[in-house]
Amino acid sequence: MEYVLIIISAIFVNNIVLAKFLGICPFLGVSNKVETSIGMTGAVTFVMVIATIVTYLLQKYILDAFEIQFMQTITFIIVIASLVQMVEIILKKVSPSLYQALGIFLPLITTNCAVLGVAILTIQNEFNLMEGVVYAIANSIGFGLALIVFAGLREHMELMNVPKAMKGVPIAFIIAGMLAMAFMGFTGIA
């Protein structure tokens, strides 16, 4: 039951992009097309889940064990940066087509606040490893959901009559605000 709650909360009620404001840069940067959004979601899911596992183990067995919790920021980000680098190298060897498909998105994930944010939140929420993994997967789904819906909206906006001053970024923000408002409707669920 706990897991269902975590999943629904992460995807709908506390959507990582629309409610928590993590991952806004890719949200705006790649969401002008649905295909790029799908690619980004795949890459983020991959990195987020592995990063959550590794940082959880790091926190539990090294940071907490030696009482050096203040090192959390530094160690977590180094872990994430190295992970992304490793994932890039492995993917290039194991599945060059997938590597090509993800393209530029992979290195960009290092600076994605969503990955570091979820890693820190998993610790703050005091999840165990299994709950942490479920949380990470659910957050990636939430990220993907927000991204892909937004991309669809933006593709549609291209065909609309937008006042000149608002073309491009401003209208995207306002649409994002409305999307956030829509997601607020889920608040009562969890």
Residue 107: name the closest of 73, 83, 141 by CA: 83
86 lies in the binding site for other proteins (CB under 8 A): no
CA pair distance 86, 83, nearest whole angstrom: 5
Q: Which of 176, 150, 137 is nearest to 51 (CA)?
A: 137
Q: Least separation, in Å, of the C-beta of 1 and other proteins?
A: 26
Part in contact with other proteins (CB under 8 A); list of ranges 31-39, 41-49, 118-126, 139-147: 118-126
Place of tokens 């977590």: 76
Neighbouring CB atoms inside 10 A of 36's CB total 18
In this chain, which stretch among 46-54, 90-98, 139-147, 178-186 interacts with other proteins, using CB under 8 A?
178-186
Which span sits near other proteins by CB under 8 A: 37-45, 56-64, 136-144, 168-176? Answer: 168-176
Least Å distance, CB 97 to other proteins, is 26
The amino acid occupying position 24 is: I
- Are 135 and 3 contacting, i.e. CB atoms less than 8 angstroms apart? no
Contact indicator for 63, 72 with CB cutoff of 8 Å: yes
Rounded to a whole number of angstroms, the minimum distance from the CB of residue 124 to other proteins is 8
- The reply on whether position 111 binds other proteins by CB under 8 A is yes
- Site of tokens 């194991």: 94
Alpha-carbon dihedral 156, 161, 164, 165, rounded to 10 degrees: -60
Q: Which amino acid is at 140?
A: S
Rounded to the nearest whole angstrom, what is the least distance from the CB of residue 93 to other proteins in the complex? 19
Provide the minimum distance between the beta carbon of 114 and other proteins in the complex, in angstroms, as a whole number: 8
189 binds other proteins (CB under 8 A): no
Q: Which of 1, 65, 159, 169 binds other proteins (CB under 8 A)?
A: 169
Which residues in this chain contact other proteins in the complex, by CB under 8 A? 18-25, 28, 70-74, 76-78, 81-82, 85, 110-113, 116-117, 120-121, 124, 165-166, 169-174, 176-178, 180-181, 184
